[in-house]
């Protein structure tokens, strides 16, 4: 129950959904949590504090360099260190499925800004503090979709494929500084956003479950164990790797 004791963890996009699940799980293991989100993270902070955890909320636009710098600075001012960054914030459940030639360029750019530039900017904001201590864990959240070539979400699939490449190259650059960089790739998860997107559920749920070796819906709780493994010293000698958690739809 204390794998993350006294570790300081920033979780982007943590105010709700899967990010909030990550934050609760990390807090349960003793971590001090920074809830970084464009949405109001104070309700989750209050919940975590009621559990006995230390937590703070920082309004953060992951695609904005200044905002990411403020996020890292606020974490350092409150806790004095940054041990783990979970790059969870992304645009997905709000997207409408469509043929790639019908994707608006503005929407393409927005997805890339949050899903690709976001992890890059946030990592760049925290890495100097990690380097100074010779320790860090960066967990980038990708998806099973790049391995499948899931159709009708080309901008999302492309962005999550870029996250895989980003993680591998970043791991090579940061290994000498005691910083591990790994990727967690969930399948179709019944997050709050996915449940609210009726079209996505109707078009994807049945074929995704049929493709799995374990034939059931995936819930946010299915990701807790793998996340804690990557965030803790259980994975100390592991970097540049991708852990796919999707019931065996992708066997990577």
50 contacts: CB under 8 Å, gap ≥ 6: none
**In residues, how long is the chain?**
252
- Asked if residues 22 and 88 have their Cβ atoms less than 8 Å apart, the reply is yes
Which of 22, 92, 135, 156 does the annotation list as catalytic?
Answer: 156
Active site residue 156: yes
> Which residues are the active-site residues?
156
């Amino acid at each position: 129950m204390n794998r993350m004791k006294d570790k300081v963890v920033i979780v982007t996009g943590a105010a709700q959904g899967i990010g909030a699940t990550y934050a609760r799980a990390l807090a349960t293991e003793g971590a001090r949590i920074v809830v970084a989100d464009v949405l109001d993270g104070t309700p989750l902070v209050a919940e975590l504090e009621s559990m006995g955890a230390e937590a703070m909320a920082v309004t953060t636009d992951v695609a904005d360099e200044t905002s990411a710098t403020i996020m890292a600075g606020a974490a350092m001012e409150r806790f004095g260190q940054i041990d783990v960054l979970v790059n969870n914030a992304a645009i997905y459940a709000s997207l409408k499925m469509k043929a790639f030639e019908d994707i608006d360029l503005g929407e393409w750019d927005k997805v890339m800004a949050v899903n690709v530039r976001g992890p890059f900017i946030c990592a760049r904001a925290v890495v100097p503090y990690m380097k100074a201590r010779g320790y860090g864990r960066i967990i980038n959240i990708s998806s099973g979709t790049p391995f499948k070539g899931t159709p009708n979400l080309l901008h999302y699939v492309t962005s999550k494929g870029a996250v895989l490449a980003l993680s591998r190259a970043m791991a090579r650059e940061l290994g000498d500084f005691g910083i591990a960089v790994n990727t967690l790739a969930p399948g179709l998860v019944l997050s709050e956003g996915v449940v609210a997107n009726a079209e996505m559920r109707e078009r994807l749920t049945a074929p995704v479950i049929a493709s799995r070796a374990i034939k059931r819906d995936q819930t946010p709780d299915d990701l807790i164990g793998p996340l804690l493994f990557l965030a803790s010293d259980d994975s100390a000698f592991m970097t540049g790797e991708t852990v796919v958690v999707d019931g065996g739809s992708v066997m990577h």
